[in-house]
């Protein structure tokens, strides 16, 4: 600190980043270099990369343990899906790049490999609700790590609860484990048509026909030689007549059902348009949420005690340098003593000195 008999400038007490921290930052940069849609959930700890597979958005949640990159990262996939590289807890366990991860492996290339694998071999998206009525994908990270594992479980900062309301997960109605056969629906049409069963039942066919048994040998021979009479005979049978009537009813019911489907087409187009608008609205809300999350993380980092102390040290050093210039001007006779005391004390009292 400057005094009238000499000067000395304060030295910074901020520790230099370790080699492990430098490697960690380098790995994070490769993640942003080789992939798009990278969102920082917690600085240097958790990131999310999204990709689109067959019009389905898949998120890769990347968790970096404390000793990363000496310890391999943890990649959790959502929504729930089935793929040879993903286990039942939605953790990527079949990727060779993750299983053999080291300090010389590029994290960005490994995540890019997982995305390429999903594009070349699309995973099967699981239904959103399981048989027990509960969500198949847990609302918290899976507890797949034991007590001796070096990988930490995901724990979000407590400050997030101050600005995000805690909405309870809705409980879906549970379904019975034993499935009961569902009766086949019937096709019902408007008008004078009777209900037509979903599965048509053929009329009973007897083993012999009385109309044929009563014919003489000459009549049988005539039928044998004349195919037209055979067709006429069997067409007049009650069973064939029943078939013709049922066929006409089915034709009429099909035509009426087709007309009803055409009448519903405008409503279907309207619902489709509304669905597209809702999807676009959801995407916009998702982008706003990611932007707000990024802003919140930046503010948290900005107002950390270590960051405030560093900024305070910089401001104190700057004020010290400016006071040195004022003192030099006074010693050289460029300023009066009253002006010197006013400016010098103003600079000295502007920023308090941080503790060493």
Q: Which residue has the tokens 């484990």?
A: 177
CA distances from 254 to 185, 246, 247 (A): 15, 12, 10
Judged against a pLDDT cut of 70, whether residue 137 lies above it is answered with no
Distance CA 354, CA 19 (A): 28
Based on its alpha-carbon atoms, the radius of gyration of the chain, rounded to whole angstroms, reads 40
Cis previous bond, 234, omega within 30: no
The 10s digit of each residue's pLDDT in 268-306 is 999 999 999 999 999 999 999 999 999 998 888 878 888
The mean pLDDT value of the chain amounts to 76
The 10s digit of each residue's pLDDT in 78-116 is 999 999 999 999 999 999 999 999 888 899 999 999 999
Contact indicator for 56, 125 with CB cutoff of 8 Å: yes
Q: Tokens in use for 1?
A: 């600190």
So what's the pLDDT on residue 183?
46
Q: How many residues does the chain have?
A: 356
Model confidence band, residue 321 (pLDDT cutoffs 50, 70, 90): confident
The 10s digit of each residue's pLDDT in 150-175 is 434 444 343 333 333 444 444 444 44
Alpha carbons within 13 A on the beta-carbon side of 248? 5
pTM: 0.36
Beta bridge partners of 76: 61, 91
Judged against a pLDDT cut of 70, whether residue 243 lies above it is answered with yes
């Amino acid at each position: 600190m400057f005094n009238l008999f000499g000067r000395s400038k304060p030295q910074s007490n901020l520790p230099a980043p370790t080699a492990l921290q430098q490697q960690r930052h380098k790995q994070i940069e490769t993640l942003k270099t080789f992939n798009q849609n990278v969102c920082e959930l917690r600085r240097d700890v958790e990131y999310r990369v999204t990709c689109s597979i067959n019009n389905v958005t898949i998120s890769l949640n990347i968790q970096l343990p404390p000793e990363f990159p000496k310890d391999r990262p943890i990649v959790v996939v959502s929504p729930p899906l089935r793929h040879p590289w993903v286990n039942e807890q939605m953790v990527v366990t079949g990727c060779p790049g993750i299983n053999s991860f080291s300090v010389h492996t590029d994290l960005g290339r490994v995540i890019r490999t997982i995305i390429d694998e999903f594009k070349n071999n699309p995973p099967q998206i699981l239904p959103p609700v399981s048989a027990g009525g509960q969500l198949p994908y847990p609302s918290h990270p899976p507890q797949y790590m034991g007590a001796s594992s070096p990988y930490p479980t995901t724990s979000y900062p407590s400050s997030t609860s101050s600005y995000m309301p805690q909405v309870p997960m809705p409980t879906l109605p549970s379904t019975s484990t034993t499935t009961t056969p569902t009766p086949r629906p019937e096709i019902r049409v408007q008008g004078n048509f009777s209900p037509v069963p979903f599965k048509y039942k053929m009329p009973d066919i007897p083993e012999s026909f009385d109309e044929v048994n009563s014919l003489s040998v000459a009549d049988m021979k005539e039928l044998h030689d004349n195919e037209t009479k055979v067709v006429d005979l069997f067409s007049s049978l009650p069973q064939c007549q029943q078939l013709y009537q049922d066929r006409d009813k089915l034709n009429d019911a099909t035509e009426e059902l087709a007309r009803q489907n055409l009448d519903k087409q405008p409503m279907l187009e309207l619902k489709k348009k509304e669905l597209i608008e809702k999807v676009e609205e959801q995407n916009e809300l998702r982008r706003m949420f990611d932007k707000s999350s990024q802003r919140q993380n930046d503010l948290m980092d900005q107002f950390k005690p270590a960051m405030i102390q560093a900024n305070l040290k910089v401001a104190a050093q700057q004020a010290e340098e400016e006071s040195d210039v004022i003192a030099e001007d006074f010693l050289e006779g460029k300023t009066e003593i009253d002006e010197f005391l006013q400016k010098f004390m103003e600079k000295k009292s502007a920023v308090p000195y941080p503790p060493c």
